[in-house]
Structure 1
Amino acid sequence: MADRFHRIREVYAEACALAPALCRRFAQAGMAAADIVDAAALARLPVLKKEALMAAQQAEPPFAGYLACRPEEIAHIYVSPGPIFEPSLAADETGHGMDYMFRAAGIGPGDLALNSWAYHLVPAGLLFDQGLRHVGAGVIPSGTGNSELQASLLLKLPVTAFLGSTAFFQTLIERLESEGHKLPGAWTLRHAFLGGEFGDWSARRCHLEAAYAIKIWSCYGTADFGLIGYEEAGKDGYSIHPDRFVQICDPESGVPLPQGQAGEIVVTTLSRGWPMIRFGTGDVACATDIAADGGTARISALQGRVGQAVKAREIFIYPSHVEALPRRVAGIARAAVEVRREGHRDAIAAKIALADAASEAAVAPALRQAFASLTRLQLDHIEIVPSDTLPADAPLLRDLRYASP
Structure 2
Amino acid sequence: MSDVSSWKRLAVEYAEAAKRAPGLRARFEAADFDPAALASLEDLTRLPVLKKETLVALQRANPPFGGFLAADPLSLARIYVSPGPIFEPSLADGGAHNLDMLFRAAGTGPGDIVLNTWSYHLVPAGLLFDAAARAVGATVVPGGVGNSELQAQVLAELGATAIVASTAFFITLADAVIARYGREAWRVRTAFLGGEMGDWAARRRHIEAAYGVTTWAAYATADLGLVAYEDGRGEGYAVHPDCIVQICDPATGLPMAPGTTGEVVVTTRSANWPMIRFGTGDSAFALEAGPDGSVTRLSMLQGRVGAAVKVREIFVYPRVVEELVIATPGVAAAQATARRREGREVIDLGLVLEQGADAAAVKASALETFKTLARVRADAAAIIASLPENAPLLLNEKDG
| Rounded Cα–Cα distance in structure 1 between residues aligned with 2:106 and 2:127 | 19
Q: CA deviation at 1:394?
A: 2.2
2:357 alignment partner in structure 1: 358
Q: CA deviation at 1:234?
A: 4.2
Where do 4+ consecutive residues of structure 1 move more than 6 Å? none
The reply on whether 1:113 has 2:114 as its aligned counterpart is: yes
Pairing partner for 1:12 from 7, 11, 14:
14
Alpha-carbon displacement from aligned partner over 1:210-268 (angstroms, at most 9, x marks no partner): 11221000110100011101002141111100001111100011001121011000001
2:147 alignment partner in structure 1: 146
Distance 1:6 1:106, change over 3 A: farther
| Rounded Cα–Cα distance in structure 1 between residues aligned with 2:221 and 2:13 | 20
Alpha-carbon displacement from aligned partner over 1:310-329 (angstroms, at most 9, x marks no partner): 11111111111112222222
Secondary structure class of the residue paired with 1:179: helix
The reply on whether 1:391 has 2:388 as its aligned counterpart is: yes
Matches for 1:18-167 after TM superposition, within 5 Å: 18-93=20-95, 95-167=96-168
Distance 1:16 1:345, change over 3 A: same
Secondary structure class of the residue paired with 2:133: helix
Q: Is the 8 A contact 2:282 2:301 kept in 1?
A: yes
Give the counterpart letter for 2:316 in structure 1: I
Q: Is the 8 A contact 2:178 2:186 kept in 1?
A: no
Q: Is the 8 A contact 2:130 2:140 kept in 1?
A: yes
| Rounded Cα–Cα distance in structure 2 between residues aligned with 1:227 and 1:209 | 24
1:346 alignment partner in structure 2: 345
Alpha-carbon displacement from aligned partner over 1:260-313 (angstroms, at most 9, x marks no partner): 011000001112311110000000000111112332101111000012211111
| Rounded Cα–Cα distance in structure 2 between residues aligned with 1:285 and 1:126 | 27
Give the counterpart letter for 2:37 in structure 1: D
Matches for 1:207-356 after TM superposition, within 5 Å: 207-356=206-355
Q: CA deviation at 1:134?
A: 1.5
| Rounded Cα–Cα distance in structure 2 between residues aligned with 1:158 and 1:384 | 46
Give the counterpart letter for 1:356 in structure 2: Q
| Rounded Cα–Cα distance in structure 2 between residues aligned with 1:295 and 1:359 | 56
| Rounded Cα–Cα distance in structure 2 between residues aligned with 1:9 and 1:73 | 23
| Rounded Cα–Cα distance in structure 1 between residues aligned with 2:319 and 2:338 | 15
Secondary structure class of the residue paired with 2:23: helix
Give the counterpart letter for 2:40 in structure 1: D
Distance 1:48 1:402, change over 3 A: closer
Q: Is the 8 A contact 1:66 1:274 kept in 2?
A: yes
Secondary structure class of the residue paired with 1:398: strand
Alpha-carbon displacement from aligned partner over 1:99-153 (angstroms, at most 9, x marks no partner): 1111122222222211111111100011111112122222111111111111112
Q: TM-score, normalised by structure 2?
A: 0.96
Secondary structure class of the residue paired with 2:366: helix
Q: Is the 8 A contact 1:7 1:270 kept in 2?
A: no
Runs of 5+ consecutive residues of structure 1 not aligned to the other structure: none
Q: TM-score, normalised by structure 1?
A: 0.95
Q: Is the 8 A contact 1:16 1:23 kept in 2?
A: yes
Give the counterpart letter for 1:377 in structure 2: V
| Rounded Cα–Cα distance in structure 2 between residues aligned with 1:230 and 1:7 | 25
Give the counterpart letter for 1:107 in structure 2: T
Alpha-carbon displacement from aligned partner over 1:52-105 (angstroms, at most 9, x marks no partner): 100111111111110111112111110111111000111223x11111111122
Q: Is the 8 A contact 1:102 1:135 kept in 2?
A: yes
- Report % sequence identity: 52
| Rounded Cα–Cα distance in structure 1 between residues aligned with 2:16 and 2:111 | 40
Q: CA deviation at 1:345?
A: 2.8
| Rounded Cα–Cα distance in structure 2 between residues aligned with 1:263 and 1:240 | 16
Is the deviation greater in 394-403 or in 49-58?
394-403
Give the counterpart letter for 2:393 in structure 1: L
Secondary structure class of the residue paired with 1:220: strand
Q: CA deviation at 1:344?
A: 4.0
1:187 alignment partner in structure 2: 186
Q: CA deviation at 1:180?
A: 5.2
Is the deviation greater in 107-116 or in 313-322?
107-116
| Rounded Cα–Cα distance in structure 2 between residues aligned with 1:180 and 1:402 | 36
Is the deviation greater in 106-115 or in 247-256?
106-115
Give the counterpart letter for 1:330 in structure 2: P
Give the counterpart letter for 1:89 in structure 2: L
| Rounded Cα–Cα distance in structure 2 between residues aligned with 1:123 and 1:101 | 16
Q: CA deviation at 1:45?
A: 0.4
Give the counterpart letter for 1:395 in structure 2: P
Alpha-carbon displacement from aligned partner over 1:340-394 (angstroms, at most 9, x marks no partner): 223343222101111222221231222122212210122221111111xx10132
